[in-house]
């Protein structure tokens, strides 16, 4: 199972000192956090994508490209790649480039983001959010899987004889997660393609998370990608740990109480009771997250948000050490022995995807452009025939 961290890249005043970093300092702190996570032995670092203050992560591939050269082992990912407002042609090229630069040590998570005004900033209509996500991702897959693409859709200009460059590493596109908190349509999309589904449940009760993940698992099996328990699931989480539980509560409380996201709302006691936020000793974090499999089944990736709410860099690095040295080893020991046979322990690596593609290459030769390789259906849900596809060309 993969354990790692993600950042939303917020620039927030430290409520204990009144100090606020500038954008440059925040960007550099994110680099230090990712590099430290790699050195500590965590599996994943992911960055969000935002285009407005107080967030600074406006160019994920630039940051992750830098980290590809300055880290050794950690998987580099996004906590959101805005599939709705980014041009799928640019996504195809940017992330294929990152895949090449990182030698396949990356994946990405598609999402619609949580900032409504981003749609008009990039010339899109928020009322079309789900439809944009569906059409843009269908095009993105074709851009990665087909060398020459003829395409026409609703939301961008047509493509004629277009080739996205560079081509995916070893001819195999990056692994994709679809992230959603509340939209079953996105869980359906992930299941349809056999991709991963990431429920970033940092603000939601586990009952909601359970329903979303169960729906994705059922639809994953429905589309013939494997058993429901073999579906690729990821969860978000939050914690703050100190050796002594009361010390953790005392230290984190001013950050919680003043955080732009959830400050001045529910109390920390209420929030930790209702959501996965866990504040306390390492053992309390271990106990809370070891129980997640009781709600969603055995899953493949757990990411934690720990560099937010104005926490100083020194504190964040200390939290990474606690996570890597105490929490993760215990969680692996608790969770992995119970994993059923045939249920993957993590998302497929690039090497595994290359091997699978080569093993099934003969079977997939001549598959119809625009169809799903497993179901034989188009993204619109209709079976595609060779004659129909030829006519569209």
Residue, of 9 and 260, whose pLDDT is higher:
9
Dump pLDDT digits (tens) for 184-238: 999 999 999 999 999 988 888 899 999 999 999 999 999 999 999 999 999 999 9
pLDDT 10s digits, 279-322 = 999 999 999 999 999 999 999 999 999 999 999 999 999 999 99
DSSP state letter for 340: P
Distance separating alpha carbons of residues 50 and 5, to the nearest angstrom: 17
Provide the token pair at 384.
Answer: 């595609």
pLDDT higher than threshold 80 for residue 366: no
CB proximity list for 350: less than 8 A, separation 6 or greater: 99, 103, 104, 105, 169, 170, 172, 174, 175
What are the chain's domains? 2-359 (3.20.20.30), 364-393 (no CATH)
Contacts of 130 (CB under 8 A, 6+ apart): 112, 183, 185, 186
* Distant-in-sequence, close-in-space partners of 299: CB < 8 Å, separation ≥ 6: 1, 213, 233, 234, 235, 292, 293
- Contact between 61 and 86 (Cβ < 8 Å): no
| DSSP track, 281-311 | -HHHHHHHHHTHHHHH-S-SEEEEE-S-TT-
pLDDT band at 90 (very low <50, low <70, confident <90, very high): very high
Q: What is the spatial distance between Cα 217 and Cα 227, in angstroms, rounded to a whole number?
A: 8
pTM confidence score: 0.90
Position 377 confidence tier, pLDDT thresholds 50, 70, 90:
low
């Amino acid at each position: 199972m993969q354990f790692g961290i993600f950042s939303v890249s917020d620039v927030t005043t430290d409520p204990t000192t009144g100090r606020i970093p500038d954008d440059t300092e925040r960007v550099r702190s994110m680099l230090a956090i990712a590099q430290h996570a790699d050195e500590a032995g965590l599996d994943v670092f992911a960055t969000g994508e935002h285009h407005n203050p107080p967030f600074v992560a406006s160019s994920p591939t630039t940051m992750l490209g830098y980290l590809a050269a300055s880290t050794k082992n950690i998987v580099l990912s996004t906590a959101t790649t805005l599939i709705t407002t980014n041009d799928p042609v640019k996504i195809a090229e940017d992330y294929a480039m990152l895949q090449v630069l990182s030698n396949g040590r990356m994946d990405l998570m598609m999402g619609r983001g949580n900032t409504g005004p981003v749609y008009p900033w990039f010339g899109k209509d928020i009322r079309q959010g789900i439809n944009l996500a569906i059409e843009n991702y269908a095009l993105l897959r074709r851009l990665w899987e087909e060398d020459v693409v003829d395409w026409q859709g609703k939301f961008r200009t047509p493509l004629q004889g277009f080739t996205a460059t560079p081509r995916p590493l070893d001819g195999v596109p990056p692994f994709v997660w679809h992230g959603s908190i509340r939209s079953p349509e996105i869980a359906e999309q992930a299941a349809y393609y056999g991709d991963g589904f990431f429920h970033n449940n940092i603000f939601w009760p586990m009952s909601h998370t359970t329903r979303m993940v169960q729906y994705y698992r059922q639809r994953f099996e429905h589309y013939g990608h494997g058993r429901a328990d073999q579906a690729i699931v990821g969860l978000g989480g939050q914690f703050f740990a100190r050796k002594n539980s009361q010390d953790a509560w005392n230290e984190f409380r001013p950050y919680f109480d003043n955080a732009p996201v959830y400050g001045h709302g529910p109390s920390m006691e209420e929030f930790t009771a209702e959501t996965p936020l866990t504040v306390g000793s390492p053992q309390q974090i271990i106990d809370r997250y070891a129980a997640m499999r009781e709600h969603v089944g055995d899953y493949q990736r757990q990411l934690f948000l720990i560099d937010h709410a104005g926490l100083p860099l020194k504190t964040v690095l200390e939290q990474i050490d606690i996570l890597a040295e105490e929490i993760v080893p215990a969680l692996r020991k608790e969770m992995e022995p119970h994993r059923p046979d045939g249920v993957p322990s993590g998302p497929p690596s690039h090497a595994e995807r290359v091997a699978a593609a080569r093993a099934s290459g003969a079977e997939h030769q001549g598959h119809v452009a625009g169809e799903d390789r497993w179901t034989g259906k188009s993204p619109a849900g209709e079976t595609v025939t060779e004659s129909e596809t030829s006519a569209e060309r």
